[in-house]
A and B are shown apart, each in its own frame.
Chain A
Amino acid sequence: MRFEQPTAPHARPLTSVPVVMRRVLYALVPAALCHTWYFGPGLLVNFALTVAACLLTEGLVLRLRGRPTRHALRDGSALVTAALLSFALPPFVPFWIPLIGGAIAITLAKQLYGGLGKNLFNPAMVGYVFLIVSFPVEMTQWLPPRMGDLDYRPLTVGEHVSYVFAGRLPADLDVDAVTRATPLDLVKEGLRTGRSFAEIRGGSLFGDFGGRGWEWVANFIALGGLYLLYTGTIRWHIPTSFLVGLLAPATVLYLVDPNGFATPAFHLFSGGTMLGAFFIATEPVSAAGTDRGRLIYGAGIGLLVYALRTWGTYPDGVAFSVLLMNSAVPLINRYTRPRIYGQRRG
């Protein structure tokens, strides 16, 4: 008998890119359901639109680059970018916002750098930053959670879809009547105008730690993050150092001046903290590549998020922080190479 002679190792690979991407998507399902429960169908509509934009532009650019599309479109990476972007977007935006965001994320941040594995910056965050800089009005159309005691009439699915695609709202409503400031906005504005944090937190949109509804979405995102840790899809270094980098200054400054600064718990359960720590900063391509490097990278993002939230112009800072630290990755990698077995330190 004669046999083929490939080289070792002969064992089958233990995992694959689509498996990894699929796990990330599964991990976001509970948070997506929770988000839909509190904020209506916006997230799902955004997801459908970003997926369409991401897959279409990915296929188109690959075709233009003369690259095969079959595996690239099925590897799930475009879906992950779409999912992360949808979570970052306000749930109440016209249809062209997610379309442009998805297209920018894939073309500008991913394919122009060479496609999967070549991007220097997190594609979803590039898409998000492009949108928030270009369309500040639409990008701040956040909805309040659907809770009975709030003075607010939630839109029906039909009304929501009619706004997204046709820009029409029921006659008795306008955009301002439907949307609300986010808890991060309220805190930033309140502190700026000299109100104490405790006073701001008394508002009806605030829950136990962060915003009502928001904090539960954050919980479910963290749950998904734990699933990713458990399955070995991500490792502990970036989420841990991200959260430490955010909570350390938050704790110190809150202890120094409890009226002038938000509680560490508020930072933990608000805005993009959990999504950033577990899903965005952990995006491997644009993150640091060594264990020590990842600790530095995550801590840097956490610190920047705190600084941007506290002293920046925008209410949240996850996207900017991630992109800033992305640009520091080559430097971090260079100085955090592990000592090779049997080679001397230094």
Chain B
Amino acid sequence: MVDYVFERHLSGGILLPANKTTSTALPIRRGFVPKRLVLALRQHRGNPATPVVRVGDRVLKGQTVATAAAAPSAAVHAGTSGHVRAIEERPVLGGNGVQPSPCIVIEADGRDERLPDSAAPAWPGDAASRREAIRAGGIVGLGGAVYPTADKLATPVPCKTLIVNGAECEPYISCDDMLMRENAAEIVAGALLLTDVLEAPRCIIAIERDKPQAMEAIEAAAEAVGDARLKLAEVPTIYPAGGEKQLVELLTGEEVPSGRYPGEFGYVCQNVGTAFAVQRLCATREPLVSRVVTITGGGVNKPQNVEAPIGTPIAELIELCGGYNGGVARLIAGGSMMGYSLPDDETPITKATNCVIAALADEVRTDTFEWPCIRCGDCAMACPSRLLPQDLLVAATTSDYGALATLGLGDCIECGCCDVICPSHIMLTERFRIAKRASAARERIPVTKPGKD
């Protein structure tokens, strides 16, 4: 029997229409070979990787095309065989939206030739070398935050608990759900590999209650392994239960102090996709060359999950999923709450892209009309950081930087709960982003990252 960890209190959060059923009807589409890859050198938070190929080189699937720079960083690999056509700036989605950034462009030859196993390093025996193997394997947090996993595994204090995050609380996204259903054994093995590297006494795999099939698969896999360090947790279907700090609160009752990271307090969160990638690296020597992406939304003909090579242009994935069915109002990378809207579908997927939504006009907010704030306080009720968005709004509109700091603007994780629940349709989140930038320019206000992995 695998033990379950009981959940504690979660502040705030809201119930949202999940919109996940259409993309979970089909199994994960695997083995897709793209025509072209656009590999950003900064696939992750931290320092961009250093290219080690030149224009004209032939590369094989799994071959390192850029090595990790100074930490935090991770390597980048070719997702299929082909020729390097260019190393230049291309518009790529990063932490601040779509911006031109240096990329390696590979034209695929369609043969999908793999680097021979002998060329890849074996899984080393000690923790430090394993972290370096993970860095060289290009593995980063696949929940969306893409922090280099090797750096996250080097905790300043001994790790008390590894939390493997399978909550996947954001609407539309189902890549983790499908991966758990289909690759539960690998995820459990990967979770234990990470537990070994961390030398953690406990590993909790947390899954939201609306994923019974994933839960069943993971439970069966965990029972088959029979490791006493492994625990499971069923977390409530509340957005944003899968936020890093929210999950720590939910599973341990502890709050990570403002402006600090869970790792500093002995808690490490890793996404289930990351665990899968680590297991694959260890077992098959294959670095992170692909990830599962949910291609969904009312504007795509055959919504499904695709195991797509990193760098595949979104247009190719949309085509693979039956193409657009007309009337697409917005193309979103990520979920409907925190995802970025894309200018066009030529943008490639990165290690951060867990989902692409081709949304019809009735699936997204298209107007910008706002009523005045009626101070109903629903935003405060929904805020997972227990902020008072209605008061922050007043402080933001009056550029009251002192009040913004006192009211905890820096603790806003930009989850969007206040926005969506606001009866006055006030675009709070965007105002807070602007206010953060503005007050940062004026004085240093500590800003926490929207950690999700």
Residues of A within 8 A of B (CB): 1-17, 19-20, 71, 75, 77, 115-118, 235, 284-285, 287, 289-291, 294, 333, 337-344
Contacts and interface: CB of A to CB of B under 8 A. Distances in A.
B48 interface: no
Contacts of B260: 342
Nearest to B337: A9
Contacts of B330: 3-4, 6, 10
B344 interface: yes
B341 A5 contact: yes
A65 to B, nearest CB: 13
A340 B375 contact: no
A118 B14 CA distance: 27
Interface string B4-41: 00000001001010000000000000000000000000
Contacts of A342: 245, 255-260, 385, 411
17 contacts: A4-B341, A5-B342, A8-B341, A8-B414, A10-B341, A13-B419, A75-B371, A77-B374, A285-B375, A287-B375, A290-B377, A291-B380, A338-B388, A341-B11, A341-B386, A341-B411, A342-B245
B422 interface: yes
A8 B424 CA distance: 17
Given A8-B416, A289-B390, A343-B411, A17 B423 contact: yes
A285 B374 contact: yes
Given A289-B391, A340-B385, A342-B245, A16 B341 contact: no
A101 to B, nearest CB: 22
Interface string B342-372: 1111000000000001010011110011011
Given A284-B376, A289-B377, A342-B255, A11 B171 contact: yes
A287 B249 CA distance: 30
A285 B14 CA distance: 22
Nearest to B259: A342
A118 B259 CA distance: 34
Given A338-B380, A340-B386, 7 more contacts: A3-B330, A8-B340, A10-B365, A12-B362, A14-B14, A14-B421, A341-B385
Interface of B: 11, 14, 16, 97-98, 171, 245, 249, 255-260, 324, 328-332, 334, 336-345, 357, 359, 362-365, 368-369, 371-377, 380-381, 384-388, 390-391, 407-408, 411, 414, 416, 419-425, 427, 429-430, 433
A341 B255 contact: yes
* Centre residue among A5, A294, A337, A342 by max chain B CB count within 10 A: A342
* Centre residue among B339, B343, B369, B375 by max chain A CB count within 10 A: B375
A4 B171 CA distance: 20
Contacts of A285: 374-375
Contacts of B376: 20, 284
Contacts, number: 172
A231 to B, nearest CB: 12
Contacts of B338: 8-9
Contact of B371 (A3, A71, A339): A71
Contact of B258 (A8, A17, A71, A340): A340
A95 B418 CA distance: 43
Nearest to A115: B372
The 7 closest A-B pairs by CB, nearest first: A9-B416, A117-B372, A284-B376, A340-B408, A341-B385, A11-B336, A5-B341
Nearest to B371: A17
Q: At the interface, is chain A mostly helix, strand, loop or mixed? A: loop
B85 to A, nearest CB: 23
B430 A7 contact: yes
B388 A7 contact: no
A328 B259 CA distance: 34
Contacts of A118: 372
Contacts of B427: 7
A7 B419 CA distance: 11
A118 B424 CA distance: 13
Contacts of A15: 421, 423
Contacts of A75: 371
B372 A13 contact: no
A1 B328 contact: yes
A127 B131 CA distance: 70
* Centre residue among B343, B376, B380 by max chain A CB count within 10 A: B376
* Centre residue among B14, B245, B341 by max chain A CB count within 10 A: B341
A13 B342 CA distance: 21
Contacts of B408: 340, 343
Contacts of A1: 324, 328, 331, 344-345
B334 to A, nearest CB: 8
B274 to A, nearest CB: 23
A157 to B, nearest CB: 37
A99 to B, nearest CB: 26
B16 A11 contact: yes
Contacts of A11: 16, 171, 336-337, 364-365, 416, 420
Given A5-B342, A5-B343, A71-B369, A10 B249 contact: no
Contacts of A12: 362-365, 420
B30 to A, nearest CB: 27
A49 B97 CA distance: 54
B433 A16 contact: no
A344 B408 CA distance: 12
